[in-house]
Chains A and B, each alone.
Chain A
Amino acid sequence: MVTSILPLRIHAAEVKRRGTRLIGPIDLTLGGTGITIVLGPNGSGKTTLLRLLHGLERPAHGGLDWSIPEEEARGRRSFVFQTPTMMRRSVTDCIAYALRVAGTKRAEARARAREMASQVGLGHALDRSAQVLSGGEKQKLALARALIREPEVLFLDEPCANLDGRATREIETILTDAKSRGTRIVMSTHDLGQAARLADEIVFMLNGCVRELNVAGTFFETPATPEAHAFLNGQIVE
């Protein structure tokens, strides 16, 4: 039986750049199931928090503890960036790349990539250059590339920013399917409607700190902090 990499415990973690604190100190525990949505105004530290959790930022103080050693946990989580990086390859090869670098043989990686591309609605574009896809298709490709390794935890940084309603709905369907297959999802968004549709749990951030961690229903109905209350009412929170 494979040991889960969760829960993830973050204790007093701080991220600094050139001596300036970006986020922290943060204490947080991510449990084993569901979708956690990170909310907060611009500059509140949502992206930095996600990057810290995935290991793209090193904590200046404090630390993160996965339930298994970091070296092993690293290969079992994926990240989808707000602006997806499109490699100079075909759609199939872009998705297959995630498997190739993990040691899967080329033929098998390409076969699975084609299957995954079809699952996310890119079956019509298998041999097209990833660079010429539309915004929604690029984000689907990024999701397919992240999901093909069957990650236990998937981090997404505002995956639907700049997408229209239809593309957003398609991405949300992919995410709920992934959740139903057991993938733990941690995602930031500015879209309160999307957060209400998807979230099991809300992390509300302000000025680089976690102000509130709550069950989604409770957060939207009776937020615990005045800042979260103001944020939900559309007021400018600083």
Chain B
Amino acid sequence: MNEILEGLVEAAKLIAAFDPELVEITLRSLQVTITAVVIAAAIGLPLGAWLAVMRFRSRRLVIAILNALMGLPPVVVGLIVYVLLSRSGPFGVLGLLFTPTAMIIAQVIIVTPLIASIAHQAIRDLWSEYHDLLISLNTTKRQRVATLLWDARRALLTACLAGFGRGIGEVGAIMIVGGNIDNATRVLTTAIALETGKGNFALALGLGFVLIALAIAVNLLMHSLSRTERSGTW
């Protein structure tokens, strides 16, 4: 219990002092995760809508695989991306290993199935409601997907925030592909792992509270910008 209190004090000190190192790793955490979520949303949202609207033979299998991929172990993703980006790997020539780009790639792989799966479920429900209307209005498939994505925007925001939550708190994959290099690839979660390993529990907990506060702040900001819970049911 003492350690948690010390952690809270440490977090307050770090924030009050506007610690340059804390600012740097916080900004890097945000940069990596927000970039990954934007890319994952660009892939996952249309994919979820497409799966809801289209009917094809192996659709159920694809949905089952997508749902299973929501539980992808980050360490395994990290290992696979490591192998692919290492010097002897197929993408070794790109020199991306131990860079924020590698961390973004790993997070995109982890976050995309989560966003696509939640989007699919939200859009599937809306599609069952809109089906007859959109068919009766003689809409094209592309118009249906666009309409569903727009009208389900609140639920899709939740999908993106869930993706952000998964990404910002992720440590296994980015530790492997980023290497936790000071001033280069260190982010909040890898810094917490490092400080815990060194026995600096108060600092580790302090960073942990900063991380939680950051996640809450981003969620509040997104809800505020999108006017969720303000304008009734639309």
Q: Which residues of A contact B (CB under 8 A)?
A: 54, 56, 74-75, 78-79, 81, 85, 87-90, 97-98, 101-102, 129-132
Contacts and interface: CB of A to CB of B under 8 A. Distances in A.
A78 B133 CA distance: 10
Nearest to B152: A88
B231 interface: yes
A90 B129 contact: no
Given A85-B129, A85-B133, A88-B151, A129 B232 contact: yes
A56 B233 contact: no
Interface of A is mostly: mixed
B196 interface: no
Given A81-B132, A81-B136, 13 more contacts: A56-B135, A78-B136, A87-B130, A88-B233, A88-B234, A101-B138, A101-B140, A101-B147, A129-B231, A129-B232, A129-B233, A129-B234, A131-B234
B16 interface: no
Interface string B127-144: 001101101111110010
A77 B135 CA distance: 12
Contact of A101 (B143, B231, B234): B143
A88 B228 CA distance: 13
B63 to A, nearest CB: 23
Contacts of B147: 87, 97, 101
B137 A85 contact: no
A132 B129 contact: no
A132 B136 contact: no
B136 A54 contact: yes
List the 5 shortest-distance A-B pairs measured between CB atoms, nearest first.
A129-B234, A85-B133, A79-B136, A88-B234, A131-B233
Chain B: interface size category: 10 to 19
Contacts of B234: 88-90, 129-131
Nearest to A87: B151
Contacts of B152: 88
A54 B138 CA distance: 10
B233 A98 contact: no
Contacts of A54: 136
Given A85-B129, A85-B130, A89-B151, A132 B135 contact: no
Interface centre among A56, A75, A88, A132 (most CB of B within 10 A): A88
A6 to B, nearest CB: 18
A131 to B, nearest CB: 4
A56 B132 contact: yes
Nearest to A80: B136
Contacts of B231: 129
Contacts of B154: 88
A74 B151 contact: no
Contacts of A98: 137
Contact of B139 (A79, A101, A130, A132): A101
26 contacts: A54-B136, A56-B132, A56-B136, A75-B138, A78-B136, A78-B137, A79-B132, A79-B136, A81-B132, A81-B133, A81-B136, A85-B130, A87-B130, A88-B151, A88-B233, A89-B151, A101-B139, A101-B143, A101-B147, A102-B138, A129-B232, A129-B234, A131-B232, A131-B233, A131-B234, A132-B233
A88 B136 CA distance: 18
Point out which of B132, B136, B143 has the most chain A C-beta atoms below 10 A from its C-beta.
B136
Contacts of B129: 85
A5 B140 CA distance: 21
B28 to A, nearest CB: 37
B154 to A, nearest CB: 8
Nearest to B146: A101
Contacts of B135: 56
A101 B137 contact: yes
Contacts of B133: 81, 85, 87
A67 B168 CA distance: 61
B122 to A, nearest CB: 12
Nearest to A71: B138
Contacts of A102: 138
B187 to A, nearest CB: 37
B74 to A, nearest CB: 35
A97 B151 CA distance: 12
Nearest to A79: B136
Nearest to B154: A88
Nearest to A81: B132
Contacts of B132: 56, 79, 81, 85
